[in-house]
Amino acid sequence: MKKSTFGILATVALAFSPVAAFAQQAQISSQSANNNGAAVGHGNYVDQEIDQTNYQTQLEVPGYYHQADPQLQISGQDASNNGAAVGNYNYVDQNIDQYSDQWQQQFGY
């Protein structure tokens, strides 16, 4: 009788368990940056800057089986700077800013 009661309780608990325990949630973020600079001569100036920002957020209030959808967020950012200054009094300034914000929310049962 104890095994039977445990089996029934386990089945009920599985039926009413929150989605967060079973949902397949993946967040993938890939960022790449590259800087190349050369200054040959007198008074050359090379300034390179890359800023990459990524925010990924998933919020889910517990629900039941019908909301167990896979939630996938993918963000890929790539940046490259190449600069060369040859001679006198040359100036190279390069800037790359990248921003990515992904948000998912799921409420209800």
pLDDT, one tens digit per residue, over 16-62 is 454 444 455 677 888 889 989 888 999 998 898 999 888 888 777 66
Of residues 13 and 95, more confidently modeled = 95
- Least Cα distance to 82 among 46, 53, 52 occurs for 46
Question: Hey, is 18 helix, strand or coil?
Answer: coil
Report residue 9's pLDDT band, with 50, 70 and 90 as the boundaries: low
pLDDT at 1: 44
Query: Are the C-beta atoms of 51 and 98 separated by less than 8 Å?
Result: yes
51-99 residue pLDDT tens: 988 888 877 766 555 554 557 788 888 999 898 889 999 998 999 998 8
Q: pTM above the 0.85 mark?
A: no
- Least Cα distance to 61 among 5, 11, 31, 105 occurs for 105
